[in-house]
Structure 1
Amino acid sequence: MRTVFIWLFRLTVVAFGLVAIAGVLASYFATRSIPDYNARLIVPGISAEVEIVRDNANVPHILGSTDTDSFFGLGYAHAQDRMWQMIMLRRTVQGRLSEVFGARTLPIDRLMRRLDLYALSVQSVIVQDPAARDALQAYAAGVNTRLQEVSQEALGRGAPELFLFSNRIAPWQPADSLAIIKLMALQLSSHLELEVLTARASLVLEEGRLRDLIPDAVGSGVAALPPYASLQPGLPRFAESTPLPDHPLSPFKQRAFASASNAWAAAPARSAAGGTLLANDPHLGFTAPTIWYLARLNLSTGGVIGGTIPGLPLIMSGRSNDLGWGLTSAYADDQDVFLEQLNPENENEYLTPNGYKPFVSRPSIIEVKDQASETLTLKWSENGPILPPEHYSLGTITRPGFVTSVAWTALSPTDTSFSAGLAMMKAPNIEGALAAMERFVAPAQNLTLADANGIALKTVGALPARDARHQTQGRMPSPGWITSNRWQGRLPYRTNPEFLTPEGGILGNTNNKVIDRPFPEHVSFYYSDNQRILRWRRLMQNRSVHTRDSFIEAQLDTVSNTAVTLLSLIGAELWFADAAAPAGTPERQRQIALSMLASWNGEMNEHMPEPLIYAAWVRALQARLIADELGPLAAEFTQLEPLFIERVFRDIEGASAWCDVLQSSPVETCADIARLALDDALVWTAERYGTALESLRWGDAHVATHDHQVLGATPILKWFVNIRQSTSGGDNTLQRGRTIGTGPDPFLNVHGAAYRGVYDFADPDSSVFVTSTGQSGHPLSRYYDDLGELWRRGEYIPMSLDVDLARAAQAGTTVLEPAPQ
């Protein structure tokens, strides 16, 4: 026995020793890829010394003698801090994720190959103007210099993830950066899904009820549409949906997560200090690290500073000495789904206005880790690429003998969006910026501008020209062989909505409708926001003049006008209407909840219980209202639609009919359904968080999920790579924190302002910025999450174009010297 014990002890010691050695080795190799920011390197590809000064938040101030040298430095800095993220973005748009992750990402790769975005990006390189091509090539050279340095110096492959996924890293190409713009356009698009969803709902609902569920943006007229069943007769009313690819790297999102953003500006007359003000906070899905990366560039036109996207040499939102710019998604209807009728005698041909014509097709091979490769046949009609029936459940609205294609402005082989963005970044004033953006194609954006003298807002990007006789007005799929359904080119840029220094001196956008024009000049029937804009208008009108701090206050505002409005409607017959109930009964819980909500001002504060009770109530209410009418299709409507609830409880055009449960004998009133939904909500909160309503915290449910897209679900590692924080705000607040809407934790905060900036041209060096994680993508770096707590608390960091300020608190300086010729 003693011998056995001795050997067990020895084996245990050896095992612990091996584990310790493995841990030390893993730590050593992982930390090898943490960049040394105090370095001097001799590199080819630059004309003179490039200095990269990193301030105490690790923001690089890139000081090159020429524009191309500065873009070289940006490429090097991006690759130092975000190499893994850049590689994943490139693989996603190329449709090559399965080479790394195997069969799980095949659905993503198949869809990306069919859209062919990378091939279109390769074709677009040649149409960029000379300055843009030079910037792209210099940036790529900077990225590749870092890749070469990592290889030669054995710097841990450049990122710890690359030890786990050891595929070869190809050099960066100019087309890779253009492809990332198209990938962003894909992530910001939502009209394809909306067309399919509208068609599916129209098979179930009469026209009036369809208007309730998918309402037009406030202020637009409602046109009568042909029933979708007349375009595709014989379709089943209810068909099972096909789920979207579930991998976190998938760019295919539900329309609720397509995008959202805020931007507003004040002219000198409305600024307390007499200079223009501009605030911007673009909203995207949360990841760790965030997609945003702060940087300053020294260009021939002066310094520019703000938020970049790794892989792309542009300041997407920021300022120069003379100009500030911000972006919000325009929600332009830049996608149309077409029904393509196949030739019954040859499925490789489709019907056109001039008879049957062959598809343009070619094979595409997808390499898959640990299994045989797969060959797709990519097909295009005159309208666009042919999509598979599972994509956004297209098969549910397509009869046998038909396929679907999509027309989309981003599917251009002559896309000059990058050239436009670069020229705008160098523009000396609003006029120059607006002229530069005429060449911008996709994604359509609302561009908010401020210079020394004025402010402006312009919708930029290609808007499709449609025929007034279009059968569905682009709201639902339409026959692609009918000429009047097809696109007629692009609307003239001068007709894009534009607002120059308005009389009131304030302008802004929260993804709301910006102009009321009839089809086909309408821009869109659907927008992301018709609620936040109401709160924004009130905050702007409450002050005669604004300051940087008042703009920050608006960015961080968490009051939900939506909550106040809806509660007054759904609780109208419930407030203080019941007799006293014994403690511990459901009736008593309902009375307590109603009493709390009656005195609540709609502030979605993380420390308060009322936001959680309200959110659970309206979620349960919408589910009860639509479940019997929509059946399985109800699962597609997981996000609250405030206008739907309002139409129902105000009985607009008979919308209160939703309150009656079709399968039950009694006729239920809206008050009945509201009461039942509140009980549902209280049962759910009791099971999830306990019965003490006063002790509930919205922040326990509304947790911001900055999760690593690959390692975020891996046991043990997830505790190192994920960044999770209790947060305020909600779906309809200016400090927007979009909830996931599904699963056991439906109120997780998954989509919001991962970048915030406020620029004050009365004192430019007082401009402030922040991102939601940190500058580094390396989980072991102290800059991985250091900005996250500032972001959660509503704090910012100053970012100045004054290099001396950056040097005064620098975290390191890298000097790149040109190699001898």
Structure 2
Amino acid sequence: MRRLILISLYLFLSIFASGLFVWGAGYFLLNASVPDYEENFSVAGIEGPVNVLRDASAIPHISAGSAADSYFALGFVHAQDRLGQLLRARRTAQGLLPLEQIAELEPSTSDALEAYAAGVNAWLGLVSEGGRGRGAPELLIADERTIAAWRPVDSINVANAFLNDLRPDKLQNELSGFPDNQIPSDRPATPELFAASPRVKLTAWALPEDRTTTGAPMLAADISGPLSLPSEWYLADLQTPEGVAIGATMPGVPFIVVGHNERVAWAFRSFSPNEIEEPEVSKAAQTSDFLMMLDRLAKSAGVNYALNATMNKVPDGLEVLAVDRTTLAVWPESEVKRPGSFQDARLAVLDDRRPVFTVESAIAVQRDTVSAVARTLLPLMAKELWFVSSASDIKENKVGKLREEVLDELSQWNGEMGRYSLEPLVFWTWVRALQRRILQDEFPSATAVWTRPNPDFLSAVLSDRRGSAIWCDIRPSARIETCQDQARAALDDAIAKLVDRYGSDPSVWFWGAEHTLNMQWSPIQSNGIISDLLSLEAPYSGDPYTLIASDNDRPVASSVGTNFQAVMSFSDESLSYFITPAGQSGHPLSRFYDNLFPRWMQSKYLVMSTDLSLARGGAVGTSRLSPLSAYSRAVKQGRSR
């Protein structure tokens, strides 16, 4: 017996020691790829030394002797912080733009792409020498055993993929592929049914100098898209003797996409272009124009210069907004009036409400959580239900009493999508149930048609636009159902669903129980369990149609929404204010992986400045990139052979 106990003990200790060794080795490999922001490097590909100052949020402020060296350093820090994201972006973008269709680039833009690629490859070279855990934790489990060098064409492909994401995704709506004969002949043409949304949306609005307290124009920018860890956007400051540029960069591309230099700030507004299909050659040319436009904007000496320099470079579906100390401009000016979105309607209300804005009030507009959809649809859905007599049968059963209680709450609601509020949860559950009742009989197998909320379609039907109310009729039934019949039945469906899920006490129902901000770690290839462990999730206010947007496609978590915001001005008193929902680093063991998440939830923007003395306050490190000597280059080349 004693021998058996000893054997069991030795076996347990062996298993424990083996597990401890595996854990230790895994932790060492993972920790080895966490960037050291005070490490200095000798690299080939730069003309002079480059300093990379990391401020308190690990945002790099790059000081270089030339533009080429600054782009090199940006590629270097992109790879240092976001190598896995870079490789994932390259893999996703491959095949979208055939190499032979790349349009010609201006020399300065081409040189920037070359320098950026050299910077990425410099970091890849350091990783290949060992001791850095393959450069990113996801590469330890990825199927890429060797990492191909980054090429300028990879940056072009990434930019093309971004522009592609700005176009509506027809696959998002199952109806888009349906032949006309599958649409019931007794239903009117309702184009809102075919609406599709882009994967990424750019929004911007500007205020002239007479509407700001500082006396200088102000520019606010939002970008909506996938919410992930790391964030889709990377903040950076590039400083050279020719000038500075600070703002949001896209890992894989060497230019500031939304930001400002010393004289002009720029942002974009995206919309669906008039063309349904564009030839691939046109897309290739527009990608090149987009990169050249970003290059020119960063060098602009003012709004008029920016307008003249980029007028013919703006891709279809984009508008440029720019401000300097005195001027505001939007271009190109379209002769076609585009229909406004629900967000546009809400922005117009807030814009009209306040004659003069401060930075704080502009930020409040960006973070507004009142839903224009709720304010539009709810009166149409409940107009016959709010005024039911108290003596009616609505109180004769438990469901009726519950219905009256939630209707009373909704009647006093202003559309605020607060995460701890009852009304948004009831409203969106009701909307889903109503859309299901209206469309399931026409499209029983196309579940995406009646499960994904389509407020434009519901607004057309409930207001009987172009005779669209007939969609409310259930085709197989003998009687003709009205939209109010469907609204009442859908409300009961919604209440029953909420009771089943949360109980019969509405005081414990709240929007954040189902509407959560969900950001998952996004490795090169999907690893569900690991991604879930490294994700961030929290109850979240807003909906897809508030100015602080979120995705409402899934009932539980929001994985798409606003992922970058900025307010910029050139007044003497104002600085720039930027915020993203995650951190600069893509490494889960870095303290800068999710450090911006609490600020994002609390609407606390980062004060951004190109003044390095401000950046040094609380800086987490400074690293120096030095040119590799000819002798060292020869030694390295000899080793590589």
Same fold per TM (> 0.5)? yes
The one-letter amino acid paired with 2:215 is G
In the alignment, structure 2 segments of 5+ residues that lack a partner are: 631-641
Q: Secondary structure at the match of 1:336?
A: coil
CA contact (8 A) 2:520 2:532 kept: no
In structure 2, how many angstroms separate the alpha carbons of the residues matched to 1:147 and 1:53?
21
Counterpart mapping for 1:393-412 below 5 A: 409-412=282-285
CA contact (8 A) 2:167 2:198 kept: no
Question: After superposition, what is the alpha-carbon deviation per residue over 1:602-633, rounded to whole angstroms, capped at 9, x for unaligned?
Answer: 00011101101000101111111111223323
CA contact (8 A) 1:267 1:275 kept: yes
Aligned to 2:503: 690
> Are 2:235 and 1:294 equivalent residues in the alignment?
yes
Structure 1 residues 569 and 812, CA gap change in structure 2 (3 angstroms): same
| Deviates further, 627-636 or 668-677 | 627-636
CA contact (8 A) 1:282 1:327 kept: no
Structure 1 residues 413 and 768, CA gap change in structure 2 (3 angstroms): closer
Q: Secondary structure at the match of 2:625?
A: strand
Identity of aligned residues (%): 33
In the alignment, structure 1 segments of 5+ residues that lack a partner are: 95-111, 218-254, 338-383, 385-406, 460-495, 498-514, 518-523
Aligned to 2:267: 326
CA contact (8 A) 2:172 2:197 kept: no
Aligned to 2:601: 792
CA contact (8 A) 1:532 1:734 kept: yes
CA contact (8 A) 1:606 1:697 kept: yes
User: How far did residue 730 of structure 1 move?
Assistant: 0.4
Aligned to 1:660: 473
User: How far did residue 636 of structure 1 move?
Assistant: 3.2
The one-letter amino acid paired with 2:4 is V
Aligned to 2:150: 172
Aligned to 2:166: 188
Counterpart mapping for 1:143-154 below 5 A: 143-154=120-131
User: How far did residue 718 of structure 1 move?
Assistant: 3.2
Q: Give the alignment partner of residue 327 of structure 2, picking from 450, 454, 457.
A: 454
Aligned to 2:250: 309
Structure 1 residues 437 and 445, CA gap change in structure 2 (3 angstroms): same
In structure 2, how many angstroms separate the alpha carbons of the residues matched to 1:12 and 1:765?
64
Question: After superposition, what is the alpha-carbon deviation per residue over 1:234-269, rounded to whole angstroms, capped at 9, x for unaligned?
Answer: xxxxxxxxxxxxxxxxxxxxx435233321111111
Q: Give the alignment partner of residue 379 of structure 2, picking from 562, 568, 588.
A: 568
User: How far did residue 39 of structure 1 move?
Assistant: 1.8
CA contact (8 A) 1:704 1:748 kept: yes
Q: Secondary structure at the match of 1:307?
A: strand
Aligned to 1:707: 520
Question: After superposition, what is the alpha-carbon deviation per residue over 1:269-298, rounded to whole angstroms, capped at 9, x for unaligned?
Answer: 111110111110111111111110000001
Aligned residues: 627
> Are 2:355 and 1:544 equivalent residues in the alignment?
yes
Structure 1 residues 627 and 36, CA gap change in structure 2 (3 angstroms): same
User: How far did residue 783 of structure 1 move?
Assistant: 0.4
CA contact (8 A) 1:289 1:784 kept: yes
Structure 1 residues 682 and 409, CA gap change in structure 2 (3 angstroms): farther
The one-letter amino acid paired with 1:318 is G
User: How far did residue 688 of structure 1 move?
Assistant: 2.7
User: How far did residue 572 of structure 1 move?
Assistant: 0.7
| Deviates further, 184-193 or 751-760 | 184-193
CA contact (8 A) 1:420 1:437 kept: yes
| Deviates further, 181-190 or 305-314 | 181-190
Aligned to 2:336: 516
In structure 1, how many angstroms separate the alpha carbons of the residues matched to 2:465 and 2:179?
19
Q: Give the alignment partner of residue 279 of structure 1, picking from 215, 220, 231.
A: 220
CA contact (8 A) 1:208 1:653 kept: no
User: How far did residue 437 of structure 1 move?
Assistant: 2.4
Question: After superposition, what is the alpha-carbon deviation per residue over 1:440-464, rounded to whole angstroms, capped at 9, x for unaligned?
Answer: 36463222111111112224xxxxx
CA contact (8 A) 1:191 1:333 kept: no
> Are 2:445 and 1:632 equivalent residues in the alignment?
yes
In structure 1, how many angstroms separate the alpha carbons of the residues matched to 2:585 and 2:419?
28
Aligned to 2:309: 436
User: How far did residue 172 of structure 1 move?
Assistant: 1.1
Aligned to 1:139: 116
The one-letter amino acid paired with 1:607 is Y
User: How far did residue 567 of structure 1 move?
Assistant: 1.0
Structure 1 residues 38 and 765, CA gap change in structure 2 (3 angstroms): farther
CA contact (8 A) 1:58 1:775 kept: yes
User: How far did residue 216 of structure 1 move?
Assistant: 9.3
More strand by share: 1
> Are 2:290 and 1:417 equivalent residues in the alignment?
yes
Question: After superposition, what is the alpha-carbon deviation per residue over 1:97-148, rounded to whole angstroms, capped at 9, x for unaligned?
Answer: xxxxxxxxxxxxxxx4xx4x15257x34xx1111111111111111111111
In structure 2, how many angstroms separate the alpha carbons of the residues matched to 1:691 and 1:203?
44
> Are 2:72 and 1:72 equivalent residues in the alignment?
yes
User: How far did residue 720 of structure 1 move?
Assistant: 3.8
> Are 2:551 and 1:738 equivalent residues in the alignment?
yes
In structure 2, how many angstroms separate the alpha carbons of the residues matched to 1:785 and 1:414?
32
In structure 2, how many angstroms separate the alpha carbons of the residues matched to 1:711 and 1:82?
11
Q: Give the alignment partner of residue 181 of structure 2, picking from 174, 192, 203.
A: 203
Question: After superposition, what is the alpha-carbon deviation per residue over 1:154-201, rounded to whole angstroms, capped at 9, x for unaligned?
Answer: 211100111112421111111111110111122222265489845626
In structure 2, how many angstroms separate the alpha carbons of the residues matched to 1:194 and 1:161?
29
User: How far did residue 206 of structure 1 move?
Assistant: 6.5
In structure 2, how many angstroms separate the alpha carbons of the residues matched to 1:314 and 1:726?
34
The one-letter amino acid paired with 2:78 is H
- Normalising by structure 2, report the TM-score: 0.92
User: How far did residue 41 of structure 1 move?
Assistant: 1.8
User: How far did residue 641 of structure 1 move?
Assistant: 2.4
> Are 2:204 and 1:263 equivalent residues in the alignment?
yes
Larger relative contact order (Cα-Cα within 8 Å, sequence gap ≥ 6): 2
Structure 1 residues 88 and 194, CA gap change in structure 2 (3 angstroms): closer
The one-letter amino acid paired with 1:516 is V
User: How far did residue 808 of structure 1 move?
Assistant: 2.1
The one-letter amino acid paired with 2:92 is T
The one-letter amino acid paired with 1:58 is A
Structure 1 residues 196 and 706, CA gap change in structure 2 (3 angstroms): closer
Structure 1 residues 609 and 784, CA gap change in structure 2 (3 angstroms): same
CA contact (8 A) 2:159 2:287 kept: no
| Deviates further, 437-446 or 151-160 | 437-446
Aligned to 1:427: 300
In structure 1, how many angstroms separate the alpha carbons of the residues matched to 2:299 and 2:269?
20
User: How far did residue 207 of structure 1 move?
Assistant: 8.3
The one-letter amino acid paired with 1:281 is D
In structure 1, how many angstroms separate the alpha carbons of the residues matched to 2:256 and 2:421?
38
Q: Secondary structure at the match of 1:437?
A: helix
The one-letter amino acid paired with 1:750 is S
In structure 2, how many angstroms separate the alpha carbons of the residues matched to 1:692 and 1:52?
56
Aligned to 1:55: 55
The one-letter amino acid paired with 2:209 is P
User: How far did residue 587 of structure 1 move?
Assistant: 1.6
In structure 2, how many angstroms separate the alpha carbons of the residues matched to 1:571 and 1:158?
56
CA contact (8 A) 1:184 1:443 kept: no
Aligned to 1:770: 579
In structure 2, how many angstroms separate the alpha carbons of the residues matched to 1:584 and 1:17?
65
User: How far did residue 60 of structure 1 move?
Assistant: 0.1
Structure 1 residues 67 and 715, CA gap change in structure 2 (3 angstroms): closer
User: How far did residue 705 of structure 1 move?
Assistant: 1.7
Structure 1 residues 444 and 650, CA gap change in structure 2 (3 angstroms): closer
Q: Secondary structure at the match of 2:254?
A: strand
- Normalising by structure 1, report the TM-score: 0.73
User: How far did residue 719 of structure 1 move?
Assistant: 4.6
In structure 2, how many angstroms separate the alpha carbons of the residues matched to 1:443 and 1:164?
40
Q: Give the alignment partner of residue 135 of structure 2, picking from 135, 149, 158.
A: 158
The one-letter amino acid paired with 2:75 is G
In structure 2, how many angstroms separate the alpha carbons of the residues matched to 1:458 and 1:77?
33
Structure 1 residues 322 and 584, CA gap change in structure 2 (3 angstroms): farther
CA contact (8 A) 2:174 2:449 kept: no
CA contact (8 A) 2:229 2:522 kept: yes
Question: After superposition, what is the alpha-carbon deviation per residue over 1:571-607, rounded to whole angstroms, capped at 9, x for unaligned?
Answer: 0111141636569722222111111111111000111
Structure 1 residues 757 and 807, CA gap change in structure 2 (3 angstroms): same
User: How far did residue 413 of structure 1 move?
Assistant: 9.2
